[in-house]
Amino acid sequence: MSVNENTGAIHVAAVDLGASGGRVIVGTYREGQPLALDVIYRFDNGPADAPGPLRWDIDRLVREVRRGLDLAAERYELTSVGIDTWGVDYGMLDAEGELLEAPVHYRDARTQGMADELAQQGGLYDLFAATGTQMMDINTAFQLKAALRDDPELEGRVDSILLMPGLIAYLLGADRGCEPSEASTTQLVDAASGTWSDAVCDQFGIPVRWLPKIASEGAHAGSVELSDGAHVPFVRVCGHDTASAVASISLAGTDAFVSCGTWSLVGVQPASPVLGADACDLGVSNERGAEGSVLLLQNCTGLWIAQELRRELNAAGADLSWDAIVDLAEAAPAEGALIDTESPEFGVPGSMSERIRAFAEAHGEQPPAGAGELFRCVYESLAARYHLAIEELARATDRRIERVRIIGGGSQNRVICQLVADTCGIEVIAGPVEATAIGNIFVQLKAAGVGESLAEVQGRVELAEQMHVYTPAAAPSRERLAWYRSAICHKEAAC
């Protein structure tokens, strides 16, 4: 354990990168005191503004991460650094270890329709039985297949690939590799063994030699280099941000969770992967969490719609803060129009207000008028979608869900939290807000010797943040939920 001799503290830096922004947060642990979080640096993230495929501005991203770590090292004697990001995206390295090109963004259109094509060919259930991964066009397997389709010469030019957490760490000086949670988002991992699947790689035409070595979270993997040439040990945390967020809380068997950010990951924690045809039909995904755990998830569009709507309205001169948006949505009439947040038109940048109103009109609803009604529509629709996902996860695992844990940035939104409690008819516990960074920090603290297990770390490290509890107040009508399920989402009742 590396403890500052003067303060008796352990300082670890969590680099938490999302699709719309990143931050570097230092967690300070002192025995007997709440975990102190210091947000050192925040920066925007998004695709590069350049012709051709939609790509990440990887040079800027690495530069911003290093800047944040430089600032952290100026203030603290760091024990280690851990990096988590979104899943599925990757970078390709040549034989000299150089990045061949900027990573393609998962929202690029090159994979559009590939999952449906596979389903039409009849390979859906076998692939799900092997990997347990939800069929989504954005999955790494489809991305790599599309890359090889568009440029067959890649097979000879690429030496290896690295998923985003490992890629950024490598570009900062750490060793090559990945850990189970980020690997499990690729659709190339065998669900039973947790190792790369030769059979699935062969099915997609992907050279298995490209894929990095998988090491358990908590493993040391070299160091990252700061701008002044100093090095800080690098620890592989749960590289997929959802797994990192879930590592911040202890889940009971009757709990569901919603990791609520740009994406919303609705999930439960079963004892083993759920791989049957029924689970495949429900669109669930088995991903790996900390210490070999399984996270059974539905990947849902999340606050992306609200973020795009805010961007659009502010560009038109509205100047809306998130606090103001919550107030407007809370004051707007309840049970207005609902949208299917998973409908394709809501998954790409553009005018969300026009799309929301057009969707409402197409389904015989009164279109939302002002900003308050628009955001209320988005929030009520998200709550209804979470309810539907929780129903389906309960059916897939044959369990009764008695509580929902909302973690991440969306846990600050009192309107969403109350709507989820009302719509699901069960208690909601909201927080921690910085769940992803805290889970990242917890894995590093375990690696530093604070506890022998994640549960021991969770029990020993007190959080300063107060969790908020929401209880059902005004449940929506059963008829409205049934209409939403059948007319909007075209789903049958789960139970």
User: Within 13 Å, how many C-alpha atoms sit on residue 122's CB side?
Assistant: 0
Q: What does the alpha-carbon distance between residue 306 and residue 292 come to, in Å, rounded to a whole number? A: 34
Q: What does the alpha-carbon distance between residue 315 and residue 338 come to, in Å, rounded to a whole number? A: 25
Positions annotated as catalytic residues are 241
Closest by Cα among 4, 84, 67 to 36 = 4
- Dihedral sign (CA 329, 330, 333, 334): positive
Strands 427-430 and 403-407: parallel
**Cβ pair 83, 22 in contact under 8 A:** no
Q: What does the alpha-carbon distance between residue 451 and residue 448 come to, in Å, rounded to a whole number? A: 8
**Cβ pair 296, 284 in contact under 8 A:** yes
Q: How far is CA 139 from CA 86, 128, 148, 279, 319, in A?
A: 12, 13, 15, 18, 36
Greatest extent of the chain over all pairs of C-alpha atoms, in Å: 67
Q: How many residues belong to the chain?
A: 495
Q: What does the alpha-carbon distance between residue 18 and residue 89 come to, in Å, rounded to a whole number? A: 12
Q: What does the alpha-carbon distance between residue 253 and residue 411 come to, in Å, rounded to a whole number? A: 21
Closest by Cα among 318, 332, 313, 312 to 415 = 332
Closest by Cα among 321, 407, 419 to 371 = 321
User: With left for phi above 0 and alpha for psi between -120 and 50, is residue 97 left, alpha or beta?
Assistant: left
Q: How far is CA 351 from CA 86, 251, 305, in A?
A: 24, 38, 10
The vertex-164 CA angle with 160 and 170, nearest 5°, equals 65
Q: Please, is 452 exposed, middle or buried when counting C-beta atoms within 10 Å of its C-beta (0-12, 13-18, 19+)?
A: exposed
**Cβ pair 37, 25 in contact under 8 A:** yes
Task: Please tell me what DSSP assigns to residue 175.
Answer: P
Neighbours of 186 (CB within 10 A): 27
Q: Rg of the Cα trace of the chain?
A: 22
Task: Please tell me what DSSP assigns to residue 142.
Answer: H
Q: What does the alpha-carbon distance between residue 37 and residue 25 come to, in Å, rounded to a whole number? A: 7
Q: Which two tokens stand for residue 215?
A: 């090491």
